[in-house]
């Protein structure tokens, strides 16, 4: 509630200038407070015309959620969508998550992209925080080619 109260004046100024205010999630917003996920409480408290969603697929999954379900939950709140893939690997001592080019990880992209299309998403943002020694432009090309093969332009 306190966060929403603080964002209202900012969102009102942005709206007056014809701009949207979008919230980008990470995994910590999937902690529960009073039996409700923080991100869920945020979107239930802030009106859609005041706050848009920038769902980050990697961080939803890292937080224990299903990215496609989160997109479907807020269908008209997402003018943009933050695409990031996750791969799992075992380093010899424990299982770890890694950033991966889109389509090279373990996210269900067919379901995620279908949900995004149903939600009237207009913009897709590709990000890979770490390429782990690979050429970043090679990773970007891999992500682009995968998304193009799924019909995105």
Residue 61 to residue 48: CA distance in whole angstroms: 23
Pairing of strands 85-90, 80-83: unpaired
Q: How high is the mean pLDDT of the chain?
A: 93
Q: What is the pLDDT of residue 8?
A: 81
Q: What is the pLDDT of residue 19?
A: 92
Q: What is the DSSP letter of 30?
A: G
Q: Let me know if 80 is exposed, middle or buried by CB neighbors in 10 A (0-12, 13-18, 19+).
A: middle
Instruction: Indicate whether 1 pLDDT > 80.
Output: no
Bridge partners of 130? none
pLDDT, tens digit (0-9, with 9 covering 90-100), for 26-71: 999 999 988 999 999 999 888 888 899 999 999 999 999 999 999 9
Pairing of strands 85-90, 95-100: antiparallel
Q: What is the pLDDT of residue 9?
A: 87
Full set of structural domains in the chain with CATH? 2-149 (3.20.20.150)
Instruction: Indicate whether 15 pLDDT > 90.
Output: no
Helix locations, 101-135, DSSP H = 109-118
Tell me the pTM.
Answer: 0.90
Residue 44 to residue 12: CA distance in whole angstroms: 18
Average pLDDT, integer, range 10-31: 92
Q: What is the pLDDT of residue 99?
A: 97
Residue written as token pair 């996210």: 107
Residue 105 to residue 147: CA distance in whole angstroms: 13
pLDDT, tens digit (0-9, with 9 covering 90-100), for 88-101: 988 889 998 999 99
Average pLDDT, integer, range 110-116: 97
């Amino acid at each position: 509630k306190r966060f929403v109260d603080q964002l209202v004046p900012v969102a009102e100024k942005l709206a007056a200038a014809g701009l949207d205010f979008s919230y980008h999630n990470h995994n910590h917003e999937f902690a529960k407070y009073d039996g409700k996920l923080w991100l869920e409480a945020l979107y239930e408290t802030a009106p859609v015309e005041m706050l848009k969603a920038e769902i980050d697929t990697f961080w939803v999954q890292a937080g224990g959620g299903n990215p496609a379900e989160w997109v479907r939950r807020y269908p008209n709140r997402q003018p943009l969508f933050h695409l990031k893939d996750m791969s799992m690997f075992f380093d010899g001592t424990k299982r770890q998550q890694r950033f991966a080019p889109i389509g090279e990880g373990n996210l269900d992209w067919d379901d995620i992209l279908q949900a995004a299309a149903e939600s009237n998403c207009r913009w897709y943002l590709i990000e890979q925080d770490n390429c782990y020694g690979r050429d970043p432009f090679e990773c970007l090309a891999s992500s682009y080619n995968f998304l193009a093969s799924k019909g995105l332009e």
